[in-house]
Amino acid sequence: MSMKSSIGVAAFVAVTSALALASTARASWTVTNLNPAGSTESVAYATSGTQQAGYHIVGDGAQRATVWNSTAASWNSLHPAAASQSEAFGTSGTQQAGYAIIGSQRRASLWSGTAASWVDLHASGTQSTALAVSGTQQVGFARINGAFRAALWTGTAASFVNLDPIQALSQESIAYATTGTQQAGYAFIPSSGRRASLWSGTAASWVDLNPSGSTASEAFGASGSQQVGYAFFQGSGSRASLWTGTAASWVDLHPAGSTGSVAFAISGTQQAGYALFGGQRRASVWSGSSASWVDLHTFLPAGFSSSEARGIARDGSFTYVTGFGFNTTTNRNEALLWTIPSPGAAAVLGLGGVMAMRRRR
């Protein structure tokens, strides 16, 4: 390689590195309003890469399960033809989980991106709902003999597994999240209350995550070996929480000055949820500690009085957070997407990618 070429390569690397550092230092969250045109309300509950899942309401007032691809115009209805109402609570990027009301029954549901792909997971009891999907697994609950029971499916109604840990004692349980191998949620034990819970595919695998001193807890999200949710302590309210598989691993994410907080989702080293300030919920992101708290509500346009972050995902380029906020101008909840370049994304994308990201901003 010639000296001139070497200098050129070195200069390119130096410029790219400098831009990467500058981009990281200046990076801020970009907000996209996902509310579809003509919709009177929308909520996004989950995200997987560039796909978001939730519901929107049209003129007849019925909730319709919906997927987006990061823009309001990209929405696609998952609502089955025979249903009176539906919602999608989880997405893996290729499949979505939720429910559809058929007749008088709420039926756990699985989709693959279209209404026509609907799969009825309902197997037992009077009501059921799927709340999350990952890999080949779906989780949620089925109401059996009057009580909610944490449920696990693998793509069919016949695959239903009851995860309730102590059915003779437990009054109810729900599985909110799955990593594809582990499931997170809660079980209500009469002698000790609602307790954040972790399973590995069977009722017998149940692990009690409730931290010492907490009178109630739930785990809403799971990723890798970690779980997130809240723990309630008398005198200090609900506190956004992070676990690594045991009650003793509990980490308090609650930001200073907040009167209540909850973490709903986790991806890698980041967690998403909300924190209460002045009686209003504010969409929030953490990176494993209370001190790392970021107030996502500050990036919203004027007119939003409250907001919640419900899902988080990362790829090599961006971090995606989805949720909703109440818009006082339109007097409705509106599905929202926050995005920010992932740490180190500029170096991965190279000079062209950095310049493209700068043009977007």
Distance of alpha carbon 209 from alpha carbon 215, whole angstroms: 12
Within 13 Å of residue 106, how many CA atoms lie on the same side as its CB?
A: 17
Q: Which of 152, 88, 138 is nearest to 114 (CA)?
A: 88
The two tokens of residue 20 are: 């990467």
pLDDT at residue number 191? 80
> What pTM value is reported for the model?
0.88
Q: What pLDDT, in 10s, does the model give residues 186-243?
A: 999 888 889 999 999 999 999 999 999 999 999 999 999 999 999 999 988 999 999 9
The two tokens of residue 306 are: 């409250």
- Which domains, ranges and CATH numbers included, belong to the chain? 3-360 (2.130.10.120)
pLDDT at residue number 143? 92
Identity of the residue numbered 172: E
pLDDT at residue number 126? 76
pLDDT at residue number 17? 37
pLDDT at residue number 350? 33
Sheet holding 30-33, edge to edge: 30-33, 332-341, 318-327, 304-314
Task: Give the relative orientation of helices 3-26 and 345-360 as an angle to the nearest 10 degrees.
Answer: 70
- 314 forms beta bridges with 319
Stretches in the chain below the pLDDT threshold 50 = 1-26, 345-361
